[in-house]
Amino acid sequence: MKRIILFLTLLLVFFTGYYIFLKDRSLNQHYILKLEDENNISYDKIVNTRGAYITSMCYTKTSDTLTGPISNPCYSCHTKGKVPNYYNDTNLQEEYNFPEEVMKNPFTNLFTDRSAKVAVINDNTILEYVRESNYFNSHGEILLSMELPKVWKGYRPDCYFNFDEEGFDQDKEGEYTGWRAFRYYPFLGTFWPTNGSTDDVLIRLDTLFRQDENNTFDKEVYRLNLAIVEALVKQKEIAFDLTVDETFYGVDINANGVMDTANTISPHITSYVGLAKLFLKEEKVHLTAGLFPENTEFLHSVRYLDWSDKKDHVGLSSRMKELRYARKYRWKSYGEIQRAAESELWEAQSLDSSEAQIALFRGNYEEGLRNEIGWVYQGFIEDKAGKLRPQTHEETISCMGCHSHLGATTDSTFAFARKFEGVEKDQKEYGWNHWSQKGFKGIKEPRVEYKDHGMQYEYSFYLQNNHSGNEFRNNDEVEAKFFDSNGSIKEKRITELHSDISLLLLPSKARALELNKAYKVLVEEQSYIYGRDANIKAMVNVYRELREGSKTGIEKPIVRP
């Protein structure tokens, strides 16, 4: 009798659980179907192209005319990676090497003239729109967190964008969420605000990096572990804003062979601190140069250009265009990363360019798409009404090219390797802040080294080699500011740029509002799969179709040493 009762109890538990599973799954499907119907999109079907990981910028013409000067914006992404990035795609500076299926440009939005639609949106309307949050409700609650189905398997937004003076995010109760904002030199071209968007990036390490050896949250342990990760990822010595007693943590922080005090973090450090130190000894977490530890997360919000009359420049809008998320779900060794790069290189060399295959990425719109080096990427984007919704599978593919097989990345990411390194909180270059706390004004231009060119001012070098402020060479404002009527660079402006990058990065109010309006038209169309660039007029310096073997005309690629 007892066995029968136990069996029936287990059977009841099973069917109850199964019923709940089916009910939750049904709610999930209902949520997605509703979004598809409201926005005329498909979450699973590929409508336009699987080749969306090849960005719209890659179709740019490198010359306005057959005899005109050659522009090279390609070097910013396509270069020789720094080990453990074993990708070397320098050849893509010289040739348009695309799979046959995408020789015809799939990003047809580039050739759309939106002048008429932009003209009917007045300035006050667009400013009101971008200043309205689509991330928080009036009670400060995260809208997506509440609206996503309970069984949502992917990332559920949990950042409150409420930062203390060191960039740590806190929730409504004042508890730390683990997210920490950092300021960085924006990547070349498209990601400059003058080209249409403001953005921010936050990092969060696994919970064990935030705890001491007694499993208790310790902000100082977390600060130190973040600095250790920065030294490892950048593969350089990093200054710390406090003097650390190495004997307290049992770790040689500055790697000088002596347990003393340290105010720098050596890239040759061999351990984390706190609970992560114990996990490292048990090989449950990893530490090596050039790589983030497993379960590292990034959050990247892409926003409109708000305007401040008081500050007389643009800033972050409350409204988000996109919210992008990444997590390192699996550790990959140097050997595994190298084999992945060599495998791709072997395929490229073994096949004719016309036979090259479209890259495929495992995953789905809910949990994200995975690359070959252990990261998963997913995102949210504005729906027709301006609310954030999950990206479709096809929309998510557009994230993967830049975060997969690219020489310019550091462990498949961009921003953290470009983080400011100032350690004093009153410094303009203090690294651990959000852009809403400190902006670009007064930030000095970064200097980087290029093979055969030596040390160069990074942004000035881009202007000199690209002859404009973006890949499409349609930023008239930057061209008028930095080039004369003959196309020669204005040396006085370049000198000013060395002392203040905002001179280049920030657009005028008129340009900002026009770009906002152009993107708002895209939102209403929900046509992201045909290109997300906020162009007002049809672009001229872009190929509609390429032929096999097409060359860029760039004879000597620019590479990092």
Tens place of pLDDT per residue across the chain (561 aa): 566 665 555 544 444 444 344 445 576 899 999 999 999 999 999 999 999 999 999 999 999 876 678 999 999 999 999 999 999 999 999 999 999 999 999 999 999 999 999 999 999 999 999 999 999 999 999 999 999 999 999 999 999 999 999 999 999 999 999 999 999 999 999 999 999 999 999 999 999 999 999 999 999 999 999 999 999 999 999 999 999 999 999 999 999 999 999 999 999 999 999 999 999 999 999 999 999 999 999 999 999 999 999 999 999 999 999 999 999 999 999 999 999 888 776 555 544 444 567 899 999 999 999 999 999 999 999 999 999 999 999 999 999 999 988 999 999 999 999 999 999 999 999 999 999 999 999 999 999 999 999 999 999 999 999 999 999 999 999 999 999 999 999 999 999 999 999 999 999 999 999 999 999 999 999 999 999 999 999 999 999 999 988 999 999 999 988
Tell whether the torsion through CA atoms of 162, 152, 275 and 375 is positive or negative: negative
Q: How far apart are CA 322 and CA 256, in angstroms?
A: 44
Torsion-angle region of 490 (φ positive above 0: left; ψ -120 to 50: alpha; else: beta): beta
N-term to C-term CA, the chain: 78
Nearest Cα neighbor of 225 from 245, 208, 209 is 209
Q: How many CB atoms lie within 10 A of CB 283?
A: 7
Nearest Cα neighbor of 241 from 104, 452, 427, 378 is 427
- Cβ(445)–Cβ(452) below 8 Å: no
The neighbouring-strand residues paired with 545 are 104
What kind and span of H or E run contains 499? Answer: helix 491-499
CA distances from 53 to 46, 356, 386, 395, 396 (A): 13, 14, 25, 9, 9
Say which residue the tokens 């250790």 belong to.
228
Nearest Cα neighbor of 107 from 58, 168, 155 is 58
Two structure tokens written together for 35: 């979004």
Q: How far apart are CA 382 and CA 512, in angstroms?
A: 19
The residue type at 416: F
